[in-house]
Structure 1
Amino acid sequence: MVDRTVVVLFPGQGAFDGPALAAANRQYPQVAQTFADIDEVSQELFSRRLTDIVLGEQPVGIAELLADDPWVSQLAIYGSDVAAYRILADQGLRPDVLAGHSLGEIAALVAAGAYSIKDGARIVAQRVLVIGEQQLTEGRMVAVATEAGRAETIIGLIGDPMLAVATENHDGQTVVSGPAQSLEQVRGIAAQLGISTIELNSPFPFHTPILAPAAPVFAARIRHLDQNPLTVPVYSPILQRYYEPGDELSELLSQHFVKPVKFAEGIRQLHGEGLRYFVESGSLSALSKLVNKIVPDGDVTTLSSLTLDGKGTLLLDTALAVLRSTGLVGALSPAEQLAALLAPGVNRDAFAAFWAATGAEITELVQRRLAEFGGAATVSATPAAPAAVASPAASPVAAPAAAAGNGSGSEVDRDTLGADIRSVYAAALEYPEEVFTEDVLLEAELGVDSVKQIELMSRVTTKYGLPEKSSNFRLADYDTMGKIVDFIHSALHNGVQAGI
């Protein structure tokens, strides 16, 4: 039996972060390319480009999207989910399972190849159009800070058949969906019981009987779209099972209108199957936080993507660093780097076939243009191994700082280096420098988790102009400050010896 390790989770309602999306767009071309695909659908159906709204000069927030037409927020969330996944996949992530939360399940199916990005956008858009056409009861969605059984009891006290548990997020949070007036009663009873509530950022009351009349219309509306075999297993918290080869996806997706999302149960099942890395493909970190509440014993690693930390750093970069350190994302081969740079999002086999057929011609053209430009560099004529193509995710770095101060080719003093690294860790963690002794265990004694360790290691290697760590790098091998200093010192020494 093959071990399965990584789940990619796709968030749903409310999962949009304009500043994080803008940061990702500046660094990764997959963002603009994804929204360009969606633009074709939004222009076709609504005569507007989504890109102009979500990737404009100033980042927008979810409140601004919800104040616009309903399709805007829904396609923006979908686009964020898909764009994040395209980046992760192009960087080498090969997940074992995909799973979506509500709207995110459409993005999961697209990521698995069931639909094209454009057809996925059409599915999302038709959800909005069909619901709007039915002139249904106005409704909302409210998160209630209690478990599902107690929420059901509150619903029973009101007696409205249109009220329903929409989502079971974890033992301390249940989402109730239904008519606006009845939800006010839910919030009133909850307040009397000391249970907090909050309204969700959703344009419609999904997963409730209110939407039952729209379900068959929606299924008919999307039935003509091409459905392809899944390339990655997709688990559905709504169906409470994996999608299967014979499934008619249009019918199953229509059931999402009325069936609840049993997210907590789904995460427990995936955890029980041995999956331990949960990577959130989309904005904010809501699902990552839910996973940590559902599996509270620290037995899982959760990673966010389109979210900024307190210092404005895109957590997608941290997630990729963690995945590389554990071997779950290997270093890209030269050919894969070239594909990521020139054709992000394109199937690797398709690009390999294209390069085999045209690589020599392209290489010859580059050589000729370089000569015309006046460059003296010689380009290798072997098209299959472009050896020096930079990953688009990599940031340019300066020459090693410690070596630069001593002149080219000079050795780096270990004690000076160690003091410098300790100051970096102390400033980031707000610890006094003296706690970072040679033998102190970073996680066991100082409580520095693996995600933070990777972030700090990346910060130090960038500071000293070191190349990206190799695929055989293992964070567990560098669990003390002394080992980290030795690693950086050795890398700098080897770099000086090599003349870099």
Structure 2
Amino acid sequence: MSSAILFPGQASQTPDMRDLVADVRPDLLALATELVGEDPFARVDDGTDYAQPALFCASLAGLATLGETAEAVAGHSLGELAALVAAGSLDEADGLALVALRGRLMQRAGESSGTGGMLAVLGAGDVAGLARRHGVTVANDNAPGQLVLSGDHEALRALGSDARAAGLKTMALGVAGAFHSPHMEPAVEEFARAVEAVEMRQPLIPVYSCVSAARVKDAAEIRFRLVEGITSPVLWRQTLEALHAAGVRRFVETGPGKVLTRLVSRTLDEVEALTARQVAQSRATTSA
């Protein structure tokens, strides 16, 4: 059975993820603290500038506990950088530096705008049509019936009213700005320069981009997709479907948390969806 390892994005944080990093990858914790200027785990809920490097470290710590390889990798938003490290395209230190910069630039872009936010819309309905009518962006297509929208606060409030009137559920997200939308354009130029400056190698295993929902061809495309991802939607449902079409039937999420594991279960039938922690627990039980 072909398998893929998945790396989560923001909102996957768990209370115990720092403990795992300190235990398994203390070197990453030290480097993240140096790059951010303080321990990012202590302020993970204060902004994406802290959350992104913390989650990157936690996902690589989860990978270290997994003890198995896969035929493909994919990452949700910032998780794409961890996936590239796992595939051998990017050195860990370069990946963490890019993630820390990405978080700072996105936080700054959101704060400087001051008018943007994100809204999750759950349920079956024409959410994309609502987004077009209200002038907002579909930022994340996470799973059937689970979209996240980005745009001005006022437009999102009006859309939320219409969505609830149509029987849909909505939830405002506590983020600094309208991520994965044109609101993030101020973050692009500096991030593009940083991506261009690091060494990027041909992946050793297939990497599926959540921006294109397809396998990336080479280092040039990897650079392009990483920069494009700042202002473009996360096509996670379509990425899972592409992996499934390529023969993947076992999906293992590094963690922290199990957000992506749930999204796999919502999107695909007759597949195995596990977290790295579940794999480790199963291995321990088998060997006992």
Q: What's the counterpart of residue 49 of structure 1?
A: 39
1:146 — aligned with what? 123
Residue identity opposite 2:60 in structure 1: V
Contact 2:3–2:71 under 8 Å retained in 1: yes
Quote the Cα distance in structure 1 between the aligned partners of 2:281 and 2:105.
Answer: 42
Mapped partners of 1:181, 1:123: distance in 2: 32
Q: Distance in 1 between matches of 2:83 and 2:274?
A: 17
CA deviation string 1:220-275 (max 9, x = no partner): 13321122332221111212211222425333211001221121122122112221
1:21, distance to aligned residue in structure 2 (A): 4.5
Letter in 1 for 2:280: L
Unaligned segments of structure 1, at least 5 residues = 55-63, 306-315, 325-393, 395-457, 462-467, 470-500
Shift of residue 143, structure 1, vs aligned partner:
1.0
- Counterpart CA distance in 2 for 1:277 and 1:240 is 18
- For 1:323-362, what aligned pairs fall within 5 Å after superposition? none
Q: 1:33 aligns with which of 12, 20, 27?
A: 27
The structure 2 residue matched to 1:127, chosen from 96, 102, 117, is 102
Moved more, 4-13 or 242-251: 242-251
1:132, distance to aligned residue in structure 2 (A): 4.7
Corresponding residue for residue 156 of structure 1:
132
Q: Which residue of 62, 82, 87 corresponds with 1:112?
A: 87
Match of 2:273 in 1: 302
- The answer to which of 251-260 and 200-209 deviates more is 200-209
Deviations 1:459-484 (A, max 9, x none): xx7xxxxxx26xxxxxxxxxxxxxxx
Q: Which stretch has the larger CA shift, 255-264 or 217-226?
A: 217-226
Query: Which structure 2 residue ranges, 5 or more long, are not aligned?
Result: none
Aligned residue runs from structure 1 range 203-352, under 5 A: 203-296=176-269, 299-305=270-276, 316=277, 318-320=278-280, 322=282
Deviates more, 1:245-254 or 1:258-267: 245-254
- Structure 1 residue 206: Cα displacement: 1.6
Indicate if the aligned counterparts of 2:9 and 2:75 stay in contact, CA closer than 8 A: yes
Q: Is the 8 A contact 2:241 2:268 kept in 1?
A: yes
Q: CA deviation at 1:128?
A: 2.8
**Aligned residue number for residue 3 of structure 2:** 6
Larger radius of gyration: 1
Find the residue that maps to 1:177 and give its secondary structure.
Answer: strand
TM-score by length of structure 2 reads 0.89
| Number of residue equivalences | 286
Deviates more, 1:73-82 or 1:224-233: 224-233
8 Å Cα contact 2:74/2:210 also seen in 1? yes
**C-alpha distance in 1 between matches for 2:105 and 2:281:** 42
Q: Distance in 1 between matches of 2:15 and 2:89?
A: 28
| Distance in 2, Cα, partners of 1:18 & 1:211 | 28
Structure 1 residues 48 and 25: alpha-carbon distance in aligned structure 2, compared to 1, 3 A threshold: closer
SS in 2 for 1:207: coil
Matched-pair identity in %: 28
Structure 1, residues 302-332: CA drift from partner, whole Å, max 9, x if none? 1113xxxxxxxxxx1x31354x5xxxxxxxx
The alpha-carbon deviation at position 126 of structure 1 amounts to: 1.6
Q: Give 2:63's match in structure 1, choosing from 75, 85, 92.
A: 85
Residues 146 and 215 of structure 1: CA distance in aligned 2, closer, same or farther (over 3 Å): farther
| Contact in 2 for aligned 1:136/1:211 (Cα 8 Å) | no
- Using the TM superposition, give the Cα deviation of residue 170 of structure 1 relative to its aligned residue in structure 2, in angstroms: 1.6
Give the counterpart letter for 2:39 in structure 1. Answer: R
User: Residue 133 of structure 1: CA displacement?
Assistant: 4.9
Q: RCO (CA 8 Å, sep 6+): is it higher in 1 or 2?
A: 2
Structure 1: distance between partners of 2:57 and 2:148: 24
- What RMSD over aligned residues (CA atoms) do the two structures have, in Å? 2.3
CA distances 1:101-159 after superposition (whole Å, capped 9, x unpaired): 11111111122122222211211122233335553353222110135x7112212332x
What code does the residue aligned with 1:8 have? I
Other-structure match for 1:101: 76
Give the Å deviation of 1:292: 0.8
1:65 aligns with 2:44: yes
CA contact (8 A) 1:126 1:222 kept: no
Letter in 1 for 2:15: G
Tell me if structure 2 keeps the 8 A contact 1:237–1:263. Answer: yes
Residue identity opposite 1:258 in structure 2: T
